[in-house]
Amino acid sequence: MSKTDIHNFIQEFAGRWPKDAPYYVWGTSASALKLCSLFDGRLNITAFVDNDEKAWGTLFQGRPVLSPEEFFLKRGDGRCIVASLAYGEISWQLERRGLAEHLDFCGSWYFTGMHRCLDAQELYLFRVDLSITSRCTLRCRHCNMLMPYYRQCGHYPAEDLLSDVDAYFRWVDHVDQFNILGGEPFLHPDVQKITKTITERYRSRINDLVFFSNGTVLPEEGLLDLMVRYQIKVDLGDYRAGVPAIRPKVDRFIEELERRGIAYAAPASSAWLDFNHPPEDRSSWKAEQLTAVRRNCREPFRGIHGQKYYFCHLNASAALGGLYPEEPGDSFDLSGSEEGRKEELLAYDLACLPKGYVSYCRHCGGCGPANQRMVPVAEQLPAGQQGRP
């Protein structure tokens, strides 16, 4: 898309989705609160919708909370903003009832990104992941980042990582969620330096700063102090049931977080969705078929590495691990000047991709409804086993 096409694309969206039009907001969690806060009463919200029957008939932000069936009965031509981390599941629910994405419903980050760009000339993005190491304490057979299969594992140099972060924030004014991950991020010898620099330079431009960890490595005292001071959260992959040997370490990790008042989430599940095996052979698929795979996936796994912004961080990890080559269109170059080009990065983030898909769509099961392959949580590979999943 040319710069003119991109600008027109953003203008047309805002014309179809003006702030003063009546909207239903699907979701009553932190994502919905954030949406309301960002627009500070300037959104015309008719009602909220939630799949949780306990919320039906209550009030949220002074508006009624409807069941999905009530919403479908009452909405008429009303449009829906989905403010939930379960966007994929909700969007499929809406599409089964005949609603079309970006015509009848859209994600809250999509809506916010468009309007912040037009209203304040700011680039506001939803999420980015920074992988600081490919080393991990576990060897999960079905790791979606493919870490056990890397040709060569190691810690990325702190100065290179911080240069990538600087490049990202030259373009981006604000990001909702900035994730620091690995591998296991607390293995990196310079994790405290990396964290301290990011917080000192950019904490005011990040809503949620989050470590993704398996809980087997307790951060050092200085890093824990930083996590308290800068309200850094932890997304803890709880694999104690699948790998009983790590239970004492994870228990100690959680105890320390709770003792210090560090916010964390530790969702436990009995199975994982397998990203590493597509349900069919896509090696000869054409662009329109792969674009449909990307469109149905709808996961916001953006990433930064090597002065590039990757539409899919799993794609970046597969390339960095030497498993599949990176192709043109898999990333957006952040090394150049952002002057007058922020709309280009917004459009790329919102899936206006050069080919309509990224190369890893050929190899990934994805989060679309076609992928029904469930696998054991944290099943461990034998020591020394390599190759591909």
Please write the tens of the pLDDT for every residue from 336-350.
888 889 999 999 999
**How long, in residues, is the chain?**
389
* Strand segments (E) across 34-142: 44-49, 59-60, 63-66, 79-82, 105-107, 124-131
Beta bridge partners, 177, equal: 127, 208
DSSP annotation of 323 reads: S
Q: Do residues 225 and 193 lie in contact, with contact meaning Cβ atoms separated by under 8 Å?
A: no
What is 3-118's CATH number, 3.40.50.300, 3.30.43.10, 3.40.50.720, 3.30.70.1400? Answer: 3.40.50.720
Domain map (residue ranges) of the chain: 3-118, 122-376
Q: What tokens does 230 get? A: 């800068």
Q: What H or E segment, with its residue span, contains residue 87?
A: helix 87-96
d(CA 166, CA 205): 12
Mean pLDDT of 303-309: 98
Please write the tens of the pLDDT for every residue from 232-250.
999 999 999 999 999 999 9
d(CA 109, CA 102): 12
d(CA 200, CA 79): 40
Q: Is the pLDDT of residue 203 over 90?
A: yes
The Cα angle at residue 80 between residues 55 and 50, in degrees rounded to 5: 15
**Going by DSSP bridges, is the β-strand pair 105-107/79-82 parallel, antiparallel, or unpaired?**
parallel
Please write the tens of the pLDDT for every residue from 146-185.
999 999 999 999 999 999 999 999 999 999 999 999 999 9
Closest CA to 179 of 255, 230, 127, 223: 127
Q: What is the mean pLDDT of the chain?
A: 95
Closest CA to 347 of 161, 118, 167, 166: 118
As assigned by CATH, the class of the 122-376 domain is alpha beta
- What pLDDT does residue 387 have? 64
Confidence band of 90 (pLDDT split at 50, 70, 90): very high
d(CA 216, CA 240): 10
Q: Is the pLDDT of residue 30 over 80?
A: yes
- What pLDDT does residue 370 have? 80
Mean pLDDT of 203-213: 98
